[in-house]
């Protein structure tokens, strides 16, 4: 007999994000022989999305166990090193496989600490909270004793170079602590095994280079390394609806921030990612897709965006394109050490598999920027471009 026709079911992009990386995380975990995942959880969109993917993995594992799949149950018991373990909920699985840690500093706000704690509680993760100030101060003190220079944040009168160095040392301390905890935290609980460290740097920031080399973007695996910021935000909204995680609404509405610079006098944020980058995430996504998918250089990108952004003058578009390419070239070396990530589309940053361009550029792009300047001069006397690409 013949089978009846079946209607194909196409997953939405948000469902693809929820299901694909989650399966990848489970497969990686069961093959690696490790006992779970460890994530520095900042309370921002990126680490929150990574946490939601681990929870999505736990949901799928739980549903498989509930459906009677003995292979999945055996893998789960082997991973948690408990031959009698039988989960009663996805949270039970998360509590055994997933440890999160809020690594706060004097520059962290109480809001992000509370969001991280609440998220871990809702998904069932084992959660820790600590302060990194003592470690950061010790490292800076070694530098001061050796050189006599006391670096200061920009807010305290320091230079841009000092300001960046003080941010970077905080970020790198978190990476070192993440690996220390991943190796020993189970032992501290009287258990055996090690945890894999999860990274949480998104695709757009990888392309722009808006991350510290060898900070928490350096990890064993990074489930969101091939996903753009805009897609991650859509995924967060989806997770709110799908799993009923209430704190996600507050996290979604909060301005993205690295919290590496001193807070304002009232305890509120003085640093946001978009101001730091000099571009919005929507703009960054547009640059990234033109660069990676359409292979645009500076001139081609300028011409494309001049049509796509008719609300901006030619000079404004030119300045934006130049700023992106300067940032892209300065930070290009970072893509050579990116953490292995899940990849599901052509828009990608993984240097070893998808992008074979050189990583050392002339950051001034002299010929290209000169061509853009000439085009801006030619356009100066013309009517504004009103058409947009379809």
Q: What is the mean pLDDT of residues 6-33?
A: 94
* Share of the chain residues as helix, strand and coil, in percent rounded to the nearest 5: 55, 5, 40
Digit-coded pLDDT (tens) for 21-52: 999 999 999 999 999 999 999 999 999 999 99
**Residues with Cβ < 8 Å from 26, sequence gap 6 or more?**
57, 60, 61
Domain 13-131+169-261 has CATH 3.40.50.620: yes
Mapped onto helix, strand or coil, the DSSP state of residue 103 is strand
pLDDT at 335: 84
Q: What is the mean pLDDT of residues 212-227?
A: 92
Pinpoint the residues of the chain covered by CATH 3.40.50.620. 13-131+169-261
pLDDT at 269: 55
126-131: strand order across its sheet: 126-131, 98-104, 37-40, 196-197
DSSP alpha helix (H) spans, 67-224: 70-80, 90-97, 110-123, 133-147, 160-188, 203-208
Q: What is the mean pLDDT of residues 243-263?
A: 89
pLDDT at 336: 83
Could you tell me the pLDDT band of residue 216, with boundaries at 50, 70 and 90?
A: confident
HSE of 211, CA atoms in CB hemisphere, 13 A: 27
Average pLDDT, the chain: 91
* C-alpha distances in Å from residue 128, one per residue of 99, 102, 151, 169: 8, 6, 30, 21
d(CA 364, CA 336): 21
pLDDT at 167: 93
Digit-coded pLDDT (tens) for 141-184: 999 999 999 999 998 999 999 999 999 999 999 999 999 999 99
* C-alpha distances in Å from residue 63, one per residue of 148, 191, 245, 337: 60, 26, 18, 36
- pTM comes to 0.88
Mapped onto helix, strand or coil, the DSSP state of residue 126 is strand
Return the HEC string of 185-212. Answer: HHHHCCCCCCCEEECCCCHHHHHHCCCC
Element (H, E) at 351: none
Q: Is the pLDDT of residue 18 over 50?
A: yes
Chain-centre distance of CA 310, in angstroms? 31
Longest pairwise C-alpha distance within the chain:
85
């Amino acid at each position: 007999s013949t089978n009846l026709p079946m209607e194909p079911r196409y997953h939405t992009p948000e469902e693809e994000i929820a299901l694909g990386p989650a399966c990848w995380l489970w497969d990686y975990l069961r093959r690696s022989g490790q006992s779970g995942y460890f994530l520095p959880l900042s309370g921002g969109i990126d680490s929150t999305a990574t946490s939601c993917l681990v929870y999505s993995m736990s949901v799928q594992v739980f549903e498989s166990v509930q459906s009677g799949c003995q292979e999945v149950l055996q893998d789960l018991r082997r991973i948690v090193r408990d031959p009698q373990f039988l989960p009663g909920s996805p949270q039970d699985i998360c509590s055994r496989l997933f440890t999160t840690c809020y690594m706060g500093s004097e520059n962290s706000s109480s809001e992000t600490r509370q969001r991280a704690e609440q998220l871990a509680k809702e998904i069932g993760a084992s959660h820790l909270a600590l302060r990194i100030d003592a470690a950061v101060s010790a490292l800076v003190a070694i530098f001061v004793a050796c050189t006599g220079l006391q670096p200061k944040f920009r807010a305290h009168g320091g230079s841009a170079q000092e300001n960046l160095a003080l941010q970077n040392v905080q970020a790198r301390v978190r990476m070192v602590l993440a690996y220390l905890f991943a190796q020993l935290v189970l032992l501290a609980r009287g258990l055996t095994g090690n945890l894999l460290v999860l990274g949480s740097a998104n695709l757009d920031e990888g392309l722009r280079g808006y991350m510290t080399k060898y900070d928490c973007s350096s990890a064993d695996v990074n489930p969101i390394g091939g996903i753009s910021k805009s897609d991650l935000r859509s995924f967060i909204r989806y997770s709110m609806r799908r799993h009923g995680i209430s704190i996600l609404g507050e996290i979604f509405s909060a301005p993205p921030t690295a919290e590496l610079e001193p807070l304002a006098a009232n305890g509120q944020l003085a640093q946001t990612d978009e101001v730091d980058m000099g571009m919005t995430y929507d703009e960054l996504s547009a640059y990234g897709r033109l660069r990676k998918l359409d292979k645009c250089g500076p001139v081609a990108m300028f011409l494309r965006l001049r049509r796509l952004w008719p609300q901006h003058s030619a000079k404004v578009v030119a300045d934006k394109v130049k700023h992106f390419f300067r940032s892209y070239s300065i930070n290009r070396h970072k893509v050579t050490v990116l953490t292995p990530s899940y990849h599901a589309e052509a828009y990608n940053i993984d240097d070893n598999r998808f992008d074979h361009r050189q990583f050392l550029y002339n950051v001034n792009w002299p010929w290209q920027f000169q061509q853009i300047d000439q085009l801006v001069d030619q356009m100066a006397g013309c009517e504004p471009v009103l058409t947009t690409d379809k």
